[in-house]
Structure 1
Amino acid sequence: MDLSARTELDYLARIVEVVNEAVPGAEWILVGALARDLLLHYAHGIAISRATTDVDLAIAVRSWEHFSTTRQALLDSGRFESVRGVEHQVTFDRDIKIDLVPFGGIERSDGTIAWPPGGHPSMTVTGFSEALRTANQVALPHGQRVAVVCLPMLLLLKLMAWQDRRHRRPGVDAEDIMLILRNYTDCGNLERMAAQHADLMERADFDYELAGSILAGRDLAGLLAEAEEDSPSALELAREIVRLQIQSEGPGPLVGDVRATDMDNFRKLLEAFSNGLSLDE
């Protein structure tokens, strides 16, 4: 994906350059709302109602000591500053908020991490290892390149984030999931759908958005099936989260997190996504 001509992303290119200089060889990817903006708006012109300049960097680490060393290297660069009382946040050039999300060797058996010393906050990082392995390489201004979570994996991470923080940040993740599903076909997938998933277009009840949602589910299931042995649990968890939302008689909590006028359509999108996740079983 080439976004090198988008001068409004100069700030991101500067961040990427400094991170790579401060921690050469580190494995990290861009996730969160900015990844959403890059994949939907900047790459395909899809309107975003909540555009952001906040940056979420997911960093693969071996241990909490490794994370601490990595964070300190960023601070030592002179371009990042710590945020008092918030270990996982720094600022870049004093005005851009950066969330650091460590994953890998510090994960517990349930796919969560717990910040030392007291174990708070706790957050889910299920899917981050898979996201790293399947990331898109995105060209930025000034010759910089950054690994960005791919769109199917962003759906997975959004599902996990919703389950983890839906009471603290209601609506945010649900709206993003709906946005991605509604626009998945338009994110460079129409020709591929016609060539590789023609059955979706040949259905008597063909619907543009629902077909894209099925394709999104198929893509995510395929990526997780090709990943390493820890991925089946991520796939089953994603299937279970979505299944619970569409099996209830009324709107499930995920569906209930969007505007009332969108609930019926969102439920249909999730049903289609669930079919794709289950490979249309």
Structure 2
Amino acid sequence: MLKVDFKLLRNEALRDIILALEEALEKIGIDYYLIGALARDAWFQQEKIVSRTTADVDFAILVPQKEKFEELKTFLAREKGYVETKGNSFAMISPGGITVDILPFGSIEIDEELNKANGEAQVVTNGFKEVFSAALEQFESEDGQLRIKIASLPGIVLLKLIAHQDRPEIRIKDPGDILEILHYYFDLHSGLIYEHHDSVFDDEQPLEMISARVIGREIGKIVSENPTLRQRVNTYLTTEIEKQENGSLIRLMQRST
């Protein structure tokens, strides 16, 4: 099982946050996994890769009913000292002052209001369900006392692509994070690449290009059961490639270097 050392993640408070979330989620009966920058850093830690410091803590939670989400927030506030934030119903502040994003999927989706047309709900395409079903790995703390499910690197890239497309003016760090994953992916997953993606070595290419092709293939597997989501990702990437530096995705990747 993969190991995670919270001291090396430069955020020992994360352990207390996870323990609080685990207690609340187990009590209420809902599942979760870690996404975002800390999920990326847990993977980078496997090869002692140091990334930029982040204070972001992001959880995706599987909510069977909308009432369960409100019950979770009430429990965290009453029992664990968390405080709700103004203007963002999906974020709470931990007793240590860390903002924790709690992003629901299942019967309630963070972007459900964006997926309605003519009064009818459309297929949700934020990727949370797909990553939950096909792109999680189990991590364990160094002392063996804590286990947590973390999105795979292709899963993280998928979620960041979608988040940046939805809110490019706010999610300005996502393109740089994606580029960083492309840079280190080969070092982290060379065994998988050699065993399952040997065809990417047909031409002499930089390791980042090989990584990009493999991540693209892995994302294809993740979204294979949701044609609408697959089409969304394909269309978005095609459009950004056509725009080149005039599009926010490539422009912000360039800026991050």
- Sort the TM-score into its range (normalised by shorter chain): 0.7 to 0.9
Is the Cα contact below 8 Å between 2:185 and 2:211 reproduced in 1?
A: yes
Q: Percent of aligned positions with the same letter in both sequences?
A: 26
Residue in structure 2 matching 1:33, options 23, 33, 37: 37
Residue by residue over 1:228-271, the C-alpha shift from the partner in whole angstroms, topping out at 9 and shown as x without a partner, is: x4x22222211111111113466433111233595xxxxxxxxx
Q: Partner letter of residue 244 of structure 1?
A: T
Question: Is the contact made by 1:20 and 1:26 (CA closer than 8 Å) also made in structure 2?
Answer: no
Indicate yes or no: 2:254 matched with 1:259. Answer: yes
Equivalent residue number for residue 141 of structure 2: 140
Name the aligned partner's letter for residue 30 of structure 1.
Answer: L
Q: What TM-score, normalized to structure 2?
A: 0.84
Offset from partner CA, 1:38-58 (integer Å, 9 cap, x none): 222x22222313x21321111
Output the amino acid matched with 2:216: G
Q: Give the gaps of 5 or more residues in structure 1.
A: 116-123, 263-281
Cα distance in 2 for residues equivalent to 1:67 and 1:243: 36
Question: Structure 1, residues 189-218: CA drift from partner, whole Å, max 9, x if none?
Answer: 1122222222222x2323211111111111
Deviates most, 130-139 or 7-16: 7-16
Contact 2:6–2:12 under 8 Å retained in 1: no
Distance 2:108 2:218 in 1: 28
Query: CA offsets per residue over residues 120-164 of structure 1, 9 Å max, x none?
Result: xxxx86100111223111112451111111111111100011011
Query: Match of 2:3, SS?
Result: coil
Q: What TM-score does the superposition give when structure 1 sets the normalisation length?
A: 0.77
Classify 1:30/1:261 alpha carbon distance in 2 versus 1 (closer, same or farther; 3 Å). closer
Q: How far apart are the structure 1 equivalents of 2:206 and 2:86?
A: 50
1:218-237 mapped onto 2 (5 Å cutoff): 218-225=217-224, 229=225, 231-237=226-232
Total equivalences in the alignment: 242
- Pairwise mapping of residues 39-118 of structure 1 onto structure 2 (< 5 A)? 39-40=43-44, 42-49=45-52, 51-107=53-109, 112-114=111-113
DSSP-derived class of the 1:46 partner: coil
State how far apart, in whole Å, the 1-side matches of 2:207 and 2:215 are: 12
Alignment RMSD (CA, Å): 2.5
Q: Which residue of 1 aligns with 2:192?
A: 192
Q: For the Cα contact (< 8 Å) 1:60–1:104, is it kept in 2?
A: yes
CA contact (8 A) 1:135 1:147 kept: yes
Give unmatched runs, 5+ long, in structure 2: 115-123
**Equivalent residues of 1:81, 1:92 under 8 A apart:** yes
